[in-house]
Amino acid sequence: MSKIVWVLGAGFSRSLGAPLLDDLFSEQLDGLVRAAYGDSRYPRLYSQAAKVVRRLYREHHPRHWRDAEEFLDRLDLAARAPDSAWARSVLSLAGQLQLGPEPLSALSFAARRLVAAQCAVFLSQADRNMERWGPYRHWASQVDAAQSVITFNYDTVLEQLSPKFEIVRPGDASPLAMPGVFKLHGSVNWIRSSANGKDYVEVRPDIPDAALTLDDECLAIASPGPTKQEMTEQLFEGLWKHAMQELRTASAIVFIGYRFPPSDSVARQRLIRAISENEMTYLSLHTVLGADTNGPDSQRLRSLLLYAVRRGGRTPCTDKNVMSSGPRMFNMTQHPLWAQDFLDITDVPHLYVPYSQHVGWNGL
């Protein structure tokens, strides 16, 4: 049976109000968080450590960190090695702002919690009947049990979109009866717990904003920094192995709003390796990163995927070899569309068919 794997990044839910990397820690987004999550119910968002994080990011950006990804990575590095140059740098920058001393670990946890809040706030009063949800409803209606979703987003868009999506729980290797969703970087409604000396993840669909109120050690969000790799190894490794096998057996792989963040070498290495090891004779690749397919993000994604398929010994599908029993083939289309455009017009059966059979679709 032909299988589609959807790989989703922040751009997937951008039109619903989800933030992109460059939006995080902005005053506008922080204003939305403050309006939705008051300090009486969510005091951890307004702790002294959280206040330091907000000022530290804004007043030293972009001179000392280009974006939120680098900022989170720097804080995590400092917290993990309090005697390092990274730690001294962060403490010095905080001192320049005359911010009271806060443990580096408290700053790192506060930053992760603020990211969770910023990634959850657009769904705090979401109405799935609104027009902006239309493309997502259309897409969800076409997704079936022969498909699966790999997402690096912390939000709960898929859970709220349709009950048909089965969120694969970390440590759960049971067969999937519905479209499986692999949340490889955790979720705002996951809780890290332990029992009998072993860590595990509790999935709480009834608490969509759990990460905003949990104790620090209960956060199950793998944000940039060394903690991401540690959490992956300790909690999410089973999810990763299962998801990579989905890529190896896919007939079509569709990247929507995902660009391989430069700092996420683990995801880059593992996804590229799985795609290069894909077992199907013909592999159809699609990328959706916006209208400008000549932009650096689109070109970088294209180059990484080309490396993966050529490493796997594939050749481009042409009019001459289409549907032949010869070499392993592939084609890739960069759609000059935003996510909502693609979701609104996508016709799932066409994603499998060799592109040379589609008028106006060009192979490589």
pLDDT at 46 over 80: yes
Same domain, 277 and 317: yes
Residue 206 is assigned to a structural domain of this protein: no
For residue 320, pLDDT over 80 is answered with: no
Q: Are residues 269 and 303 in the same domain?
A: yes
Q: Which of 15-29, 316-330, 340-354 has the lowest mean pLDDT?
A: 316-330
Q: Say yes or no to pLDDT of 358 above 70.
A: no
Residues 299 and 269 in one domain: yes
Residue 364 has pLDDT above 90, yes or no: no
Q: What is the pLDDT of residues 102-133, one digit of tens each?
A: 899 999 999 999 999 999 999 998 898 999 99
Q: Report how many domains make up the chain.
A: 2
167, 316: one domain: yes
Which pLDDT score, from 0 to 100, does residue 357 have? 42
- Whether 271 and 146 map to the same domain: the answer is yes
Shared domain check, 178 and 77: no
Q: Which domain holds residue 248?
A: 4-17+128-187+224-357
Q: What is the 3-state secondary structure (H, E, C) of the chain?
A: CCCEEEEECHHHHHHHCCCCHHHCCCHHHHHHHHHHCCCCCCHHHHCHHHHHHHHHHHHCCCCCCCCHHHHHHHHHHHHHCCCCHHHHHHHHHHHHCCCCCCCHHHHHHHHHHHHHHHHHHHHCCCCCCCHHHHHHHHHHHHCCCCEEEEECCCCCHHHHHCCCCEECCCCCCCCCCCCEEEECCEEEEEEEEEECCEEEEEECCCCCCHHHCCCHHHEEECCCCHHHHHHHHHHHHHHHHHHHHHHHCCCEEEEECCCCCCCCHHHHHHHHHHHHCCCCCEEEEEEECECCCCCHHHHHHHHHHHHHHHHCCCEECCCCCCCCCCCCEEEEEEECECHHHHHHHCCHHHHCCCHHHCCCCCCC
> So what's the pLDDT on residue 195?
84
The pLDDT of residue 81 is: 93
Write the CATH number for 183.
Answer: 3.40.50
Q: Are 88 and 142 in the same domain?
A: no
Quick one: what percent of the chain has pLDDT higher than 90?
72
Which tens digits make up the pLDDT trace of 144-176? 988 999 999 999 999 999 999 999 998 876 656
